[in-house]
């Protein structure tokens, strides 16, 4: 979703902005632009489409040492050049980039901007006109910015440049992510650290409703009343090589391949050399004290919550309930007496999940964020954090974060179960079992060509498909179908195998692809096979993914057996590859599917 980058100081701003925007591409966008200040030769360049399209429009004359850039994921108004950021005030003096949604932009337009001629339809253009208007009304730039912030409602990350004084970038944020990067003789502002690590590894957080006056030598943080806030910087442990594709054609394939390494990394992080759990005792106690665990998340992270539910319940003896974050933020159901909230989020920035966390904090509910991004908003604002240690996930389609989430929750579940004195938890040799999972993943990954071949036969021309399974296989089916539809645009449903005959089976016709997942007990497997027969009898084109030991002649993909608590990890890998090859074979942009963003920072 929208990305912001800005730099002020002694560097080549054009180069830094373009490099930064390229690093922000993964977030999803449909237009982009930069503003580079240079007196009368300042440049504002925008383009619909990819960063490469923007780059093609940038000549050598676009140079300077202060600038702001933006990737826009359309919310208000279509993806057009007029709607692309940066936006300018009525006189062109002020230039603004924005991430978020200004909820009261129409009221602002009516109340303050009568007679203003707006080029596009965005809420951002209204914000920069508002600031410009206040300066026209004789406020200083800082006062005008603060006054605008006091009026604007909603979510925002802003970076503002005054073309008449380009030694400063004015920055503010509320609910949308934004981070300061500190350099020697230059400073930066950006939506995330990854887009700045080529330039610096020293960062400073900005909290909601804070303003930063950024110059080449200082980043002064204040509240909206102008009170200065002391804020320490920190050094990020990020490795530039982590965010390269290497020899891979797409990040998604690289990230799928990284999963055995991620499993091993989690073992070394959350267990000691004797195999004892290495989880913050305060987190364990907090879960122990709860009478119910609520997992709140969106998309793949939500599916990872389901994939972990049975294991969490069995090991901790605590009921687990799942909630769609976008629903719970505003429709919180009746909770148990002693709830514990677990926010699952790869990015740690999902606005829907954050809204739930804001509510939970207001209600005094203890919370744990399980995320891949240290220092992310959800991590900062929850009571506790557990990190996924999966390395940056760049492809929009989440893969390694899903398996890392299930594995991380397994460590938590075992630690809590052991603390509760549960024999099943003590007997569950997680370190050993997760090592087997890593090997199972490797075995599936070695079958890529075979899987690609099957995908070509099954999915090359279809417009729709089904994944079916029971129990944990149903939960994997949910994730498998999300993955397939988001990157191949095949309409796909993940269905409880037994539920099909209650209505949805009417959609099955000659050639409808149905992928059956079978990893549970013999008994459950037999029932799923019955459901597969039912669709086959109605013309479905069936592909089976079966756990070793349950296979029969004619099955398509056989997955190595792993411990039942971790079977969702074992089963999901081939479905990730199915989605990858379906997208690839259709000639689509696997890493950047249309309409989607990596970090969904608006509600």
Q: Which of residues 301-320 bind ligand M6R (CB under 6 A)?
A: 301
Those residues whose C-beta lies under 8 Å from the C-beta of residue 330, and which sit 6 or more positions away, are 355
Which helix (DSSP H) or strand (DSSP E) does residue 4 occupy?
strand 3-9
Among the residue ranges 114-122, 393-401, 451-459, 568-576, the one whose residues contact ligand M6R (CB under 6 A): 393-401
Helix residue spans in 472-563 (DSSP H): 472-488, 522-537
- Going residue by residue from 242 to 281, which x/- string records binding to ligand M6R, judged by CB under 6 A? ----------------------------------------
Between residues 372 and 528, which has the closer beta carbon with respect to ligand M6R?
372
- 517 is a site residue for ligand M6R (CB under 6 A): no
Q: Which of residues 341-360 bind ligand M6R (CB under 6 A)?
A: 345-347, 350, 353
Between residues 544 and 583, which has the closer beta carbon with respect to ligand M6R?
583
- 300 is a site residue for ligand M6R (CB under 6 A): yes
- Going residue by residue from 584 to 603, which x/- string records binding to ligand M6R, judged by CB under 6 A? ----------------x---
Q: How far apart are CA 39 and CA 422, in angstroms?
A: 70
512 neighbors 463 (Cβ within 8 angstroms): no
Q: Least Å distance between CB 545 and ligand M6R?
A: 19
Q: How far apart are CA 481 and CA 493, in angstroms?
A: 6
Q: Least Å distance between CB 254 and ligand M6R?
A: 15
Report the chain's C-alpha Rg in angstroms: 25
Between residues 255 and 473, which has the closer beta carbon with respect to ligand M6R?
255
- 369 is a site residue for ligand M6R (CB under 6 A): no
- 299 is a site residue for ligand M6R (CB under 6 A): yes
360, 397, 408, 409: which one binds ligand M6R (CB under 6 A): 397
Q: How far apart are CA 154 and CA 334, in angstroms?
A: 27
Q: How far apart are CA 543 and CA 39, in angstroms?
A: 63
DSSP code per residue over 229-291: E----EE----GGGGS-TT-S-HHHHHHHTHHHHHHHHHHHHB-TTS-B---HHHHHHHHT-S
- Going residue by residue from 478 to 497, which x/- string records binding to ligand M6R, judged by CB under 6 A? ----x---x-----------
Among the residue ranges 136-144, 180-188, 208-216, 396-404, the one whose residues contact ligand M6R (CB under 6 A): 396-404
DSSP code per residue over 87-153: EE-TTS-EEEEEES-BTTHHHHHHHH-TT---SS--HHHHHHHHHHHHHHTT--HHHHHHHHHHH--
Q: How far apart are CA 545 and CA 580, in angstroms?
A: 16
- 386 is a site residue for ligand M6R (CB under 6 A): no
Active-site residue list: 2, 598
- Going residue by residue from 433 to 472, which x/- string records binding to ligand M6R, judged by CB under 6 A? ----------------------------------------
Closest C-alpha to 367, from 339, 394, 325, 387: 339
- Token output for 495: 């269905």
Q: Least Å distance between CB 25 and ligand M6R?
A: 15
Q: At what angle do helices 430-445 and 400-419 cross, to 10 degrees?
A: 160
Report the interface residues with ligand M6R, using CB under 6 A. Answer: 298-301, 345-347, 350, 353, 396-398, 482, 486, 600
């Amino acid at each position: 979703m929208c990305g912001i980058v800005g730099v002020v100081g002694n560097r080549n701003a054009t180069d830094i902005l373009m490099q930064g925007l390229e690093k922000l591409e993964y977030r999803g966008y449909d237009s982009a632009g930069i503003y580079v200040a240079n007196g009368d030769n300042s440049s504002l360049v925008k383009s619909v489409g990819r960063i490469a399209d923007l780059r093609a429009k940038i000549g050598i004359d676009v140079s300077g040492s202060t600038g702001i850039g933006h990737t826009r994921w359309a919310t208000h108004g279509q993806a057009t050049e007029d709607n692309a950021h940066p936006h300018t005030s009525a006189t062109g003096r002020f230039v603004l980039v924005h991430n978020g949604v200004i909820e009261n932009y129409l009221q602002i337009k009516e109340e303050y901007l009568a007679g203003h001629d707006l080029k596009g339809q965005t809420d951002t253009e209204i914000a920069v006109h508002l600031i410009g208007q206040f300066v026209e009304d004789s406020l200083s730039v800082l006062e005008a910015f603060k006054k605008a912030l006091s009026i604007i409602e909603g979510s925002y990350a802003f970076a503002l440049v005054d073309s008449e004084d380009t030694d400063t970038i004015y920055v503010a944020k509320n609910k949308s992510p934004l981070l300061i990067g500190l350099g020697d003789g230059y400073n930066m502002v950006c939506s995330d650290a990854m887009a700045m690590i080529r330039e610096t590894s020293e960062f400073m957080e900005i909290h909601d409703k804070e303003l930063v006056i950024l110059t080449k030598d200082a980043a002064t943080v204040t509240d909206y009343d102008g009170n200065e806030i002391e804020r320490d910087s920190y050094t990020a442990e990020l490795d530039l090589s982590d965010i390269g594709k290497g020899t891979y054609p797409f990040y998604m394939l690289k990230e799928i391949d990284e999963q055995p390494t991620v499993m091993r990394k989690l073992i070394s992080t959350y267990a000691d050399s004797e195999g004892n759990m290495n989880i913050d005792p305060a987190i364990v106690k907090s879960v122990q004290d709860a009478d119910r665990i609520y997992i709140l998340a969106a998309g793949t992270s939500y599916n990872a919550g389901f994939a972990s539910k049975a294991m969490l319940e069995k090991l901790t003896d605590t009921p687990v309930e799942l909630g769609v974050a976008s629903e719970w933020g505003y429709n919180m159901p009746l909770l148990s007496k002693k709830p514990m909230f677990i926010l699952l989020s790869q990015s740690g920035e999902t606005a829907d999940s954050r809204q739930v966390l804001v509510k939970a904090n207001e209600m005094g509910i203890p919370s744990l964020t399980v995320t891949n991004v240290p220092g992310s908003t959800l991590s900062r604002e929850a009571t506790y954090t557990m990190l996924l240690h999966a390395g940056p996930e760049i492809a929009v389609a989440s893969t390694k974060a899903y398996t890392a989430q299930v594995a991380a929750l397994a460590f938590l579940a075992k630690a809590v179960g052991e603390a509760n004195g549960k024999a099943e938890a003590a007997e569950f040799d997680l370190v050993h079992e997760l090592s087997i999972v890593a090997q199972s993943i490797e075995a599936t990954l070695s079958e890529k060509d075979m899987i690609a071949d099957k995908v070509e036969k099954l999915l090359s021309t279809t417009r729709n498909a089904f994944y079916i399974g029971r129990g944990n296989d149903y939960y994997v089916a949910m994730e498998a179908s999300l993955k397939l539809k988001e990157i191949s645009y095949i309409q796909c449903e993940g269905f409880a195998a037994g539920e099909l005959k209650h209505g949805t089976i009417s959609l099955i016709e000659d050639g409808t692809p149905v992928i059956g997942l079978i990893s549970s007990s013999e008994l459950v497997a037999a029932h799923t096979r019955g459901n597969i027969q039912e669709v086959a009898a109605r013309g479905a084109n069936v592909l089976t993914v079966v756990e070793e030991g349950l296979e029969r002649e004619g099955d398509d993909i056989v997955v190595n057996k792993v411990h039942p608590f971790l079977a969702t990890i074992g089963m999901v890998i081939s479905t990730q590859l199915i989605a990858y090859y379906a997208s690839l074979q259709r000639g689509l942009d696997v890493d950047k599917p249309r309409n989607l963003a990596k970090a969904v920072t608006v509600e």
